[in-house]
Amino acid sequence: MKNMLRSAITLLAAMVVLVGVAYPLVITGVARVVFPTQAAGSLIVRHDRLIGSRLIGQPFSERRYFWSRPSATAPQPYNGLDSGGSNLGPLNPALLAQVRARVAALRAADPGNAAPVPVDLVTASASGLDPDISLAAAYYQAGRVARVRGLRVAEVRALIAAHARGGSLGVLGDPRVNVLELNLALDAMK
């Protein structure tokens, strides 16, 4: 019995070291060599100042910026340590109230825009951290952003098109645009 227990404890310790320590260190080392930007969090740095990450959304509320998809993390929005959806079903009164409030805020920020509000501007994703919005959501906001910044709508729409990315591997998901990168490009224009 002692031999079996000793063998089991030895095997457990060896597996913890191998799978829990050695393997993650090797994979992390390979990732840092092969994909250095992604392994470091896909951080965006401008003038030696950390701006954000391409992988985690950020809140934008000024009318001169494109607004991100709502975050489901609480109490702090876009909190990477609290990733997860709201778990509110489509008929839940709390979710319906949130959506109505978000639609009202979008309409108030751009009263002349009568287009249907894209769903990703009023609902959070499963992670609550999406850095991207659909092209429909970006084009929906183009008029407001152009008007507030004194730009032509065509210029803003061209900027959206220039920053658009297709689905993953060219086929998975819908075309989208990274909100932080789009807003940085806007700031570079004016």
Tokens for 106, please give them: 């979008």
Q: Give dist(CA 1, CA 38) in Å, integer.
A: 49
Query: What is d(CA 183, CA 46) in angstroms, rounded to the nearest whole number?
Result: 13
- Residue 52 in 3-state DSSP? strand
Query: What torsion, rounded to 10 degrees, do the Cα atoms 50, 55, 145, 65 define?
Result: -40
pLDDT band at 190 (very low <50, low <70, confident <90, very high): low
Tell me the C-alpha to C-alpha distance, in Å, between residue 13 and each of 21, 24, 176.
11, 16, 46
| pLDDT(21) > 90 | yes
134 - beta bridge partners?
Answer: 176
Task: Give the SS3 label for residue 121.
Answer: helix
Helix (H, G, I), strand (E, B) or coil at 176: strand
Placement of tokens 């063998």 in the chain? 7
- The phi and psi torsions of 111 (rounded to 5 degrees) equal -60, -25
Express each pLDDT in 30-76 by its tens digit.
999 998 888 888 888 888 888 888 888 888 999 999 999 998 887 78
This model's pTM is above 0.95: no
pLDDT digits over 129-155, tens only? 889 999 999 999 999 999 999 999 999
Tens-digit pLDDT profile for residues 78-101: 887 778 777 888 889 998 999 999
- The pair of three-digit structure tokens given for residue 4, joined into one six-digit string: 């079996």
What the block records as the tokens of 42 is 């896909």
Is the model's pLDDT at 19 over the cut of 80?
yes
